[in-house]
Structures are given as C-alpha cells and as structure tokens.
Amino acid sequence: MINVKENKSDKKIKKYILITGAAGFIGSRLCKIYIHLGYSILAVDRAPVLGVPQIDDRLHVVNCDLKDAQSVDCLFINYSINQVVHLATELNFAVKSQKELYNNNILMTDNLLRASKKYGIERFVFTSSFAIYSGIRGNSLISEDIKPYSIDEYGRSKIVCEELISNYDNIFKTVVIRCPLVVGSGRVGMLSILFDLISNDAPIVTLNGGGVKHHCVSIDDVLEVLTESLSIKNSLIFNIGCEDVKTFREIYIDLIDHSKSKSKLFNVSSYWTIPILKFLFWIKLSPLGPHQFRMLTEDCVLSLDRAKQEMIWRPRVTHFSMMRAAYDEYLSTRNFNSATSSNSKPVAAKVLKLLKVLKFLK
C-alpha cells in the first residue's frame, strides 16, 4: 500500500512529474536530471530511492505498489501531477513467475492510465521494449510500422501495455519509447555473466561464429530521449538505439582487448546448445529464457528513422563505448548488496558460471 503523509497545500499547487520505477537503473538517474532542470518530481517505487539529492524541496519520494488501484489514486489525490513517466516494470530474469510478470506489468500500466485520465494529466511517457519484436524473423531493419509479435511474457506484456496506452491518445499526449538493451555505467543484470567470464580469463562461448547483431542503447542516450519526450508536441511511438550495431563476436573481442583479458572465443553450434540452455532455464539453473535465445541466434536491428525525423535526435554513444563503461563500472564496484534494481546487480547464473573453471583445463 501507499506510504504518504497528510496533504499539504503546496503539493496541490506545484505541478509534479510522476516517475515510476524511480529506484531503478534508469529512474534514479532520470530523477537527478529532471531535478537539475528545475522540475518537481514525485519519485515512486516499491524499493528505496537512493542517491537523489533534495534540491529546494523539488523531490518527493513515495513507496507505492502500482498494482493497487487505490494506492495509485492516492498519488494523484495528494499531488498535482501533470506528466507521468512510467519506467516501472518486472523483468523476465528477475521473477519466479512469468505469468505474474505479464499480469503485473499490464495491471500497473492500466492503473496509472485510469488515474491519469481521471485526474487530467497532460502527457504519459512509457518505456516499452524491443522484446515486442522478438517473434519477428529475418535480418531486415525493424521499423515501428511492423506489427509487434513476441515470444515471451515480458514482450507480450509490453505489447498489451502499448495497446492500452493507444486508447488514451485523444485524452492526453502519449509517448512510447521502444528501447533495446540499455547499457552503460552501472548496468549489470545479464551482462554479469559475460563480465565474470572475461574478468576471470575464462573462455567465451559464441554461437554459429558470433555473427549475430543485436541492438543496444546507451543509458546517456535514453536519458536524453526521456528529457526530450517532455516537449514532444504530438503522441508518438518510436524506436531508439545506437548508431552502429556490432556483432557479438566484435563486442567480445573489443571487451577482451579493453580489459587485457586472456579469454578466448569458443564457437559452438546453436543446434545442440540452445536445447541445453532451454533445459537449464526450465529447471531454473540458468536465467537465459526465450528472449535471450532469440538474441543469441538471430539479428535484431531497429530502424531509428522516426526518432531522427520526429525528434531530430541522434544517438551519441557507440556500442563499444557503452559496453566498456558497463564493464569498467562492474569491476570497480563488485559489491552489489545495496543495489535495488534487478538491472543494477548480477543475475544468478549458476551452471553458466561453471565456464570459469574451464580456464584451468587448457
């Protein structure tokens, strides 16, 4: 349930931007940027929102379960909210039940949209995912005009959320940002598997030569887009990503060279590897699920034309640079006990991390 204090008049006079998932990898950074730009922020999360400075009382932090409609209503009753930036989401590698993930992501979005309509906001910004394209085959650029199709519950939940949001286009402005994997300093999550192997000089497995390309985007570019989204004049759906998408092989080699690791690439066929990984996922010994299997075996490169034309936006950070930044931060931190976001701490890889012992078998 919501944890708020009694109403104060200034909360109803001052206009707030509601940021959900404010304790997360993106949200905690976005709060700082918005505050320094002069906005008043209502930072909402179930976890503690850490490291965001109090400047002229422009930040209010509220612990709230967005799945509870009454709690969401209380946010809008207690604060005058004119814009919502909805970042909160449950991730497929950080939950026990994929069905609950699907239902919870949809419920949180639906509750926020209903309250936004009821209390008359001006704009609703939503971070969707390239997981909505995971069921699309082929190596051509994926544009926003292609009908989304996903193979996992996370992607399916994002598709439904986008459909819900489209029903409110005529009530307030809606901005849907389809993000690939967000990478940069502080990003850990699934990348911890790769970073652990490289830092331990262990062999790196590539499937079918490692020639698959998969879009990523820098956290710095995401924050810039989220800032620009507050001034978009019309409702809009668009992809974002880096400019020059690299193959897995190119990324691995660059990280190995950057870190001066002794890791070597070890190529295997996906024909027998993917069934093994699926089995490990099924018995909960590996965090890699359907979306990751698709990532490892097929290209997913997004068209950025709409973002460039409608927002006059260009990604600034290269694929190599964002991966190096994430790796360097991972090595310098190592202690993730205080991390509140699933994307800011390592995953439990279990069997996959046994690859580290193979370096002793050379």
* Count of domains forming the chain: 2
Helix axes 153-166, 98-119, angle to 10 degrees: 20
177 and 262 share one domain: no
Identify the band that residue 362 occupies on the pLDDT scale cut at 50, 70 and 90: very low
Categorise residue 209: left if φ over 0, alpha if ψ from -120 to 50, beta otherwise. Answer: left
Indicate the pTM of the whole model.
0.86
In-domain check, residue 7: no
In-domain check, residue 305: no
In-domain check, residue 309: no
In-domain check, residue 307: no
Which is nearest to 131 in space by CA: 348, 295, 344?
295
Q: Kindly report the average pLDDT of the chain as a whole number.
A: 85
270 and 347 share one domain: yes
Cα distance between residue 216 and residue 154, in whole Å: 17
41 and 164 share one domain: yes
| pLDDT tens track for 234-287 | 999 999 999 999 999 999 999 999 999 999 998 888 777 778 777 877 777 676
145 and 196 share one domain: no
Q: Which residue has the higher pLDDT, 191 or 355?
A: 191
Which domain, by its residues, includes 284?
191-214+244-300+317-361
Mean pLDDT computed over 333-355: 50
Cα distance between residue 355 and residue 276, in whole Å: 14
In-domain check, residue 65: yes
Residue 128 above 60 pLDDT? yes
220 and 100 share one domain: yes
